[in-house]
Amino acid sequence: MLGLGLDGYDPDSQHHAAVAFHIRVVEDEQRIPRHQHRKGQLILALRGAVTCEVDNAMWMVPPQYAVWIPGQIPHSNKATPGAQLCFLFIEPGAVMLPDRCCTLKISPLVRELILTLASKTDDQLLLAATSRLTDVLFDEIPQQPQEQLQLPVSPHPKIRMMSNTMAEQPAEWQTLAQWASHFAMSERNLARLVVKETGLSFRRWRHQLQLIVALQLLIGGKSVQQVAQSLGYDSTTAFITMFRKGLGQTPGRYIASLSTTSR
């Protein structure tokens, strides 16, 4: 398998309507620095997880999900060690997809169509049978539901510092009061800044970040109790309640549902 960087391969050099690659992330290629493509890119997680960041948001993609990145949008990617991904590159205008980044929940049919396309050789991509497969894929992709697995961020240095620090030390930096003191601001002014820059209240923004970090830890093999402690929760029950409000299931059931169809 290729590393996350596709060994320098340029997907924009291909002029097929869609081209896909099955990727296994190797230890020294976990991150692709900021870049952009002419083609739109769908990053599908098969096993492990990938985080994608653009100018104003960060997406966490667990198994069964994909992040859609329209063409010409600068972005960077970071995957967990050993993750298995599929990169699907789509010619501009070939299919009706959102003109902004979003997270899609991928059906088993779409997943298998992408994997099948990824198995095709250059010669096979020219066959009529492959064209028909791509047509079915293009019919199905726009029907995939969007999921709220993104964290709004912004270029504002305070917001960047908060998101980076809270992702790395979630148990130590939890409250608005802590950050207000750190920035020598009033809590009210900092709360207003968070809403202005992210569109969310500090509490909702923090919970969204916690969901992303929790998914990374859970997919990495941490127990629910360990994740709750890592995020600074006084009780596992409180963490489970937050997780269920955000994603509709308990952490245990959510991760179990991912593992049933991941490869």
Examine the pLDDT at 143 and tell me if it is beyond 90.
yes
Dig out the tokens for 9 from the structure: 């391969």
Reported as a single tens digit per residue, the pLDDT across 45-54 is 888 778 888 8
Nearest 5°: the CA angle 106, 86, 126 is 105
- Measured at the CA of 71, the angle between CA 87 and CA 69, to 5 degrees, comes to 55
Domains of the chain, each with CATH number or no CATH: 6-147 (2.60.120.280), 153-259 (1.10.10.60)
pLDDT band at 11 (very low <50, low <70, confident <90, very high): low
Residue 67: what pLDDT? Answer: 92
User: For the chain, how big is the Rg over CA atoms in Å?
Assistant: 19
pLDDT band for position 164 (cuts 50, 70, 90): confident
The answer on pLDDT for 173 being more than 70 is: yes
Rounded to the nearest 10°, the torsion over CA 183, 187, 192, 194 is 60
Q: Pseudo-torsion of CA 231, 164, 42, 23, nearest 10°?
A: -80
How would residue 174 be classed by pLDDT, with cut points 50, 70 and 90?
Answer: confident
The model's pLDDT over 148-163, given as tens digits with 9 standing for 90+, comes to 778 888 889 999 899 8
Residue 14: per-residue pLDDT: 65
Q: In what order do the strands lie in the sheet with 40-47?
A: 18-24, 84-90, 40-47, 65-69, 102-105, 146-147
The pLDDT of residue 13 is 64
Whether 173 contacts 57, CB under 8 Å: no
How high is the pLDDT of residue 43? Answer: 93
Higher-pLDDT residue of 2 and 67 is 67
**Mean pLDDT, the chain, whole residue set:** 86
* Helix residue ranges per DSSP H, the chain: 108-118, 128-140, 157-168, 176-182, 187-198, 202-219, 224-230, 236-247, 251-259
| Per-residue pLDDT tens digits for 118-138 | 999 889 988 999 999 999 999
3-state secondary structure at position 124: helix
pLDDT at residue 259, rounded to an integer: 62
pLDDT of 2 over the 70 cut: no
- Provide the pLDDT for residue 1: 38
* pLDDT of 27 above 70: no
The two structure tokens encoding residue 169: 């030390």
Q: What is the pLDDT of residue 16?
A: 78
Average pLDDT over residues 138-150: 89
What amino acid is encoded at 151 in this protein? L
Q: Which residue has the higher pLDDT, 98 or 4?
A: 98
Lowest mean pLDDT among 12-26, 183-197, 212-226: 12-26
Percent of the chain topping pLDDT 90: 48
Distance from the Cα of residue 145 to its chain's centroid: 15
What pLDDT score was predicted for residue 248? Answer: 86
pLDDT of residue 20 exceeding 50, the answer is: yes
Q: Are 65 and 149 in contact (CB under 8 A)?
A: yes
pLDDT at 28: 59
